[in-house]
Amino acid sequence: MVSSSEIGFPVGKPSVLKRDVVYRHADGLALEATIYQPHDTPVAGVVSIHGGRWSAENRWTNARIDQALADAGIAVMAVDFRLAPSARYPAPVADINAAIRWFKAHAGDFALAPDVIGGVGTSSGGHQLLLNALCPERTEFAAGGYEDEACRDASASLAYAVACWGVVDPLTRYRYAVERNMTLHVDCHHAYFADELAMAAGNPQRIVQDGSWTHLPPLLLIQGEDDTTVLPEMTELFAKTYAEAGGAVQMKAYAGEGHTFMTKRPDSKATLDALSTMIDFIRIQASGQRQALADLNS
């Protein structure tokens, strides 16, 4: 387990409680997640989805981000899910769908209300999170394998979402990578998607553009302006399309920053500002959900 000192926090800072759970069984695997539990009653909860070109990394990849959120009073469920090439689209998306259901079904165990649970995803994790945010009940995403009946019956909808340098348009990104001989990225696209038709089917940009979404939760997009893996233009177009579809969206771009800047340079000014922006966004969205629930019950 990663300690606070290993991810850049000062020694002696009160630690967040961590607990490992199994949220789903699939292909004979027990899929695990780590819950970051704030000492005080959490103000919100997020499911955290790591990147890694759909084929690498694990739930500790975003430990710097997850720890910072938990230190700010946000409970975090950092998720491991099946990876390509052993699991291809849409199987990992279904794992994440099951994780969302698990966290919402067990929200009371962590002093949370299900209505204040959202999601954070980075890079390819942002792509997979967005698919669940837009289409939480899509048949191939809601594929079962739940730990208990409560998970099956829980909604997979998210109260809000944060996508950091997310692959919002995998088909356009694939063609961009092919043109520029980005061999590793091209190979990872092939490992995860069966073909370009699958890239179009599992494509947040297309889903928003053609109106096949069922949910448009409030969305925050974090992007480096010097990112050559996910171009800022892709994220900007997605933000524009999301807004035109009626979704509430904010985009925060950082000059001079590239892909995964928050995990590569955890103590930089840009990273600290992005963390602050994320925390403020999550708190505001959770507060709005609590107020809406109070109004319904009044």
CB atoms within 10 A of CB 5: 12
What tokens does 235 get?
């994220």
Q: What is the mean pLDDT of residues 13-22?
A: 84
Cα dihedral 98, 201, 162, 222 sign = positive
Distance CA 272, CA 265 (A): 10
Q: What is the mean pLDDT of residues 26-35?
A: 95
User: pLDDT at position 297, please?
Assistant: 60
The sheet carrying 161-164 orders its strands as: 17-26, 29-37, 74-79, 44-49, 117-122, 161-164, 219-224, 249-254
What percentage of the chain has pLDDT greater than the value 70? Answer: 93
- For residue 293, name the pLDDT band (cuts at 50, 70, 90): low
- For residue 205, name the pLDDT band (cuts at 50, 70, 90): very high
Instruction: Report pLDDT digits (tens) over 86-113.
Output: 999 999 999 999 999 999 999 999 999 9
What is the set of domains in the chain, with CATH numbers?
5-167+203-297 (3.40.50.1820)
User: pLDDT at position 276, please?
Assistant: 97
Residue that has been written with the tokens 């695990």 in this structure:
32
Cα dihedral 131, 137, 142, 148 sign = positive
- For residue 292, name the pLDDT band (cuts at 50, 70, 90): low
- For residue 289, name the pLDDT band (cuts at 50, 70, 90): confident
- For residue 62, name the pLDDT band (cuts at 50, 70, 90): very high
Mean pLDDT of the chain: 93
pTM score, whole prediction: 0.93
- For residue 11, name the pLDDT band (cuts at 50, 70, 90): very low
Higher pLDDT, 232 or 291: 232
Q: What is the mean pLDDT of residues 268-273?
A: 98
User: pLDDT at position 55, please?
Assistant: 98
User: pLDDT at position 143, please?
Assistant: 81
pLDDT surpassing 50 at residue 74: yes
pLDDT surpassing 80 at residue 38: yes
Distance CA 279, CA 21 (A): 24
Q: Residue 93 CA to chain centroid, in angstroms?
A: 11
User: pLDDT at position 148, please?
Assistant: 86
User: pLDDT at position 146, please?
Assistant: 85
> Exposed/middle/buried for 216, CB within 10 Å: 0-12, 13-18, 19+?
middle
| 280 half-sphere exposure, CB direction, 13 A CA radius | 8
User: pLDDT at position 249, please?
Assistant: 98
Name the CA dihedral angle for 97, 100, 105, 106, rounded to a multiple of 10 degrees: 140
Q: What is the mean pLDDT of residues 270-298?
A: 86
